Structure formats: structure tokens, C-alpha cells
Amino acid sequence: MAPDPALDPLPAPSSGAQRTARVVRTVRRRSNNRSHSVKHMERLERTREAEAFLDARQQTPADVVSACEGWTAHEVTAHLAAAAAEITRHLEPYLQGDAVPETRTFEQREPPFRAMDDARLCERLVDEEARVRAIIGQVLAQEPDAAIPWTGRQMAVAKFLPHLRNEFAVHRWDFVGDDQTSYELLSQPELTEHAVGVLGRILTRRGAEHDPFPGQDFDVRLRAAGAADVRVVVAEGQAGLEMADGDGPHVDLDAAARTLVIWGRRPDQRGRFRSHLSEADLLRLQTLLSGY
């Protein structure tokens, strides 16, 4: 059941949030105007997920505590701006035929963004989102199957598009919570399929370090009506996620709640996550899906 947006209104903006909103609106217009100079075949429109994140930040003061441990809305915004800048930092040399640099960690790339004034940070996110969107379009126009080194593996450039959509949708939820927009964005099957297909082992890595039964195989399905199951598997000591048909031990979730659980979150609204497992198996499932 979709949450009722009337039950979860966004907070009224403080004066600081109003100032941020004015900056974001102004820079958004400027960025959209710049994008008209990109060739039509190379142009990618801003995604609904990015637009929703920026709109939500207009209404959210910087100091609102998010669902990410230790982070406020400001740090969440810094995380996204730094991620977009890092992708651009990889694609610019690739487009020129130069060597692609090693991917920097969160700790290496995010501090300069966290140190910014919040209004400046929101302005920077708008700019970085426009830049990364433009350069992804340019690379794909020249080489649709392009792949680059990214975090120690090869990443198809086209995969950055659903990855960024996931990032904006999930991190918007981190400071807004369960509202109708989150429900709609997080229910999209292609976001789940990307998370499972590209990040299946990464999303269980931290949880696997705390697995209460590390030597035992495990196979539980996250089931959402009308969609393929997501299997949470431990086999031969390796944990991961995969899409699956068929049947097996499972929990039931709506599609949006399932996306949140895959990313180590839990929906705010009770009743969206129902278990048909033993206590031990539910505990193990929750441990494996505790974020990364």
C-alpha cells in the first residue's frame, strides 16, 4: 500500500532553507540553459529522481538528520555532489583518450563538499549533476558500449544513469522518508534490477562481516507483487543478491520497501515488510542487508 502523502508533509522551510531554495532554482535555470548547447544526440534530460531530490532539498534545512548514520541533509547532498564530480573526473580523460584515474574513496572526495556553505553546496550539486549528465551523453553518443575502470572493476558508462537515479531516489528518502514521491520512485523495477545486477555483492559486503552464521548457506527471497524475486544468497562463504523466479523461503514487501531494504534501509511505515521466516533467518536476513 502506498503511503498517504498527506500523513507525511514536508517541513516548512526555515529562512536558511528558503535561501537554499532560491539558489537552487536560479542555478537550475542556468544549468538547463547551458544544456541547450549540447548536440541533440548527446543530450540527456535531468531525471525525475534528480529533480525530486533538488525539489526536496529546497524544503529541507541543512541540519535535518537523515537515515544515513552521522549525516544530515547537508552531508547527503555533499555525497551526491562528490559522486557526480567523481564520475565526471573519470569520463573527461576517457573522452580525450587519456588514462582514467583511480577512483577516490568517499573519505577522499567528499570533505571539500561537506565544508561548503549549504547554499553553495546545493548550487554545486546542480552544476555537477548537469556536467555529469552532459559528459555521459557525449561518451555514449560516440561509444554506446563504453566501459571504464571504476572502484577496481569495469563499469559500463550506460550503467551510471540508473546508478545515479538510485542514488538520488534513495538519498532523497533518507531525509524525506515515506511519502508518495518516494513510493513512486523507489517502486521502479529498473532501479531494483540495476542495484541487484551491478551491486549485488557490494550491498551485502558490510552485513556479511557480521553474519551470525557465516559458515552456513542461506537463500531467502525478497518478494514484491508483480515482480521477480530478489534472492539474498550466501553460498561457499560469499554473500550476494540476484534476481530469481520460482519459489522458496521469503519475506513480502511492496516494491519501494524492497528497494529500501536492499540498500540497507527500513521503511518508516509499519506493515510494508512481512516475514514468513524463522526468527533466526529473519535476523540473519536483516544483518546481511544492513547497508554498505
Q: Measured between alpha carbons, how far apart are the two ends of the chain, in Å?
A: 28
Choose one of 127, 162, 186: the last residue of a domain: 186
236 backbone φψ class: left, alpha, beta (φ>0; ψ -120 to 50): left
CB 84 within 8 A of CB 128: yes
Give the type of residue at 263: W
Whichever domain contains 12, its CATH number is: 1.20.120.450
Evaluate whether 58 touches 25 at the Cβ level (below 8 Å).
yes
Q: Is residue 194 part of a domain?
A: no
Classify residue 197: in a domain, yes or no.
Answer: no
Structural domain range at position 255: 202-288
Number of domains in the chain: 2
Q: In this structure, are 168 and 270 located in the same domain? A: no
Residue 68 neighbours by CB under 8 Å, 6+ apart: 75, 76, 79, 171, 174
Contacts of 287 (CB under 8 A, 6+ apart): 207, 210, 211, 212
Are 35 and 87 part of one and the same domain?
Answer: yes
Last residue of a domain, one of 157, 186, 215: 186
CB 90 within 8 A of CB 57: no
> Which CATH number characterizes residue 220's domain?
3.30.1050
Question: Is the same domain home to 215 and 119?
Answer: no
- Phi, then psi, of 287 in degrees rounded to 5: -70, -45
Q: Is 192 part of a structural domain of the chain?
A: no
pLDDT for the residue 42: 61
The answer to whether position 55 is within a domain reads yes
C-alpha–C-alpha distance, residues 203 and 144, integer Å: 27
Apex CA 220: angle with CA 215 and CA 224, to 5°? 160
Mean pLDDT by 10 residues, the chain (292 residues): 35 41 43 38 88 98 97 99 99 98 97 98 99 98 97 95 98 98 98 96 96 95 97 96 95 98 96 98 98 84
Residue 196 lies in a domain: no
208 and 124: one domain?
no
Same domain assignment for residues 61 and 153: yes
Query: Residue 88: CA atoms inside 13 Å, Cβ hemisphere, count?
Result: 17
